[in-house]
Amino acid sequence: MYPSQTIRILRSTQLPRTACLMLALVGSSCSRERPEPLRSESRAEIAAVEQPPAEVSPQLLVHRGEQLVRLGGCGDCHTPMAFDPKLGMPVPQRHLALSGHPEGAPAPSGQPQAGDQAVIGASFTSFKAPFGVVYASNLTPDPETGLGSWTREEFIATMRSGHRKGTGRVLLPPMPWQNLSNQPEADLNAMFAYLQSLAPIKNRVPQPEVPEPAIAAIAKGYELARAATQEGQ
């Protein structure tokens, strides 16, 4: 390579890519290089990664579901926490895992101040937002107070649509259903299998204290956000 050529290459905006190529040639990698955007042909390859083999044992399904529920941070809101004075921080109450806002536990006592998104209650399962108070639901399979009577299809429809069982009331913030709405069916299936494998805990979570017009406004907001995302694709 002639010196003038080298200089031209080094000055070009392609420098990081060229440097990476050179590193690759000597067997090193270049972690700063951003991955290429996905080609449309990659969809089939992605589907192959997302799609587990047709026959998965129930134990494997539950194991995978547990991984996803942990990764999804579901317990961060659905498992009550208690403040541990020795540790100086809130810790999850393992024996109440994923059972939602404990019946009779207090709602947040303070009011959100100007600019606050919400005040979080003592058990980290209740949220007082400017539009009202929302309580994290019981995700254990208790038939009366949890998801025991839900079908797999209803769970998946909830996550895809942001409405309970696909057609019911809209799920209120801070439930981050949007994070799950495009998740492969196999993942949602595994998460539901794990939740249904838990020991049922009878715990009747209070209904949200949010006025109807505020619920309607939130439903509208979700629709607008969804339309904006689809436009941006």
Q: How many positions of this chain bind ligand HEC (CB under 6 A)? A: 22
Q: Please state the closest distance from residue 127 (CB atom) to ligand HEC, in A.
A: 6
196 touches ligand HEC (CB under 6 A): no
Kindly tell me which residue out of 76, 132, 178, 202 binds ligand HEC, with binding defined by CB under 6 A.
Answer: 76
78 touches ligand HEC (CB under 6 A): yes
Kindly tell me which residue out of 62, 133, 139, 156 binds ligand HEC, with binding defined by CB under 6 A.
Answer: 139
Cα 111 to Cα 114: distance, rounded to the nearest angstrom: 10
Q: Please state the closest distance from residue 75 (CB atom) to ligand HEC, in A.
A: 8
72 touches ligand HEC (CB under 6 A): yes
CB 170 within 8 Å of CB 226: no
CB 203 within 8 Å of CB 146: yes
128 touches ligand HEC (CB under 6 A): no
201 touches ligand HEC (CB under 6 A): no
134 touches ligand HEC (CB under 6 A): yes
Q: Please state the closest distance from residue 233 (CB atom) to ligand HEC, in A.
A: 23
CB 123 within 8 Å of CB 82: yes
Cα 180 to Cα 103: distance, rounded to the nearest angstrom: 27
Closest CA to 167 of 153, 188, 180: 153
73 touches ligand HEC (CB under 6 A): yes
Footprint on residues 164-183 left by ligand HEC (CB under 6 A)? 164, 171-172, 174-176, 180
62 touches ligand HEC (CB under 6 A): no
Residue type, 102: P
Cα 226 to Cα 221: distance, rounded to the nearest angstrom: 9
What residues have CB less than 8 Å from 112, skipping those under 6 apart?
Answer: 118, 119, 128, 129, 130
Distance between the two ends of the chain, CA-based, in angstroms? 42
74 touches ligand HEC (CB under 6 A): yes
Question: How is residue 41 written in tokens?
Answer: 């042909």
Footprint on residues 87-126 left by ligand HEC (CB under 6 A)? none
Cα 20 to Cα 26: distance, rounded to the nearest angstrom: 10
Q: Please state the closest distance from residue 150 (CB atom) to ligand HEC, in A.
A: 8
Residue type, 17: R
208 touches ligand HEC (CB under 6 A): yes
Residue ranges that bind ligand HEC, judged by CB under 6 A: 69, 72-74, 76-78, 127, 134, 136-137, 139, 158, 164, 171-172, 174-176, 180, 191, 208
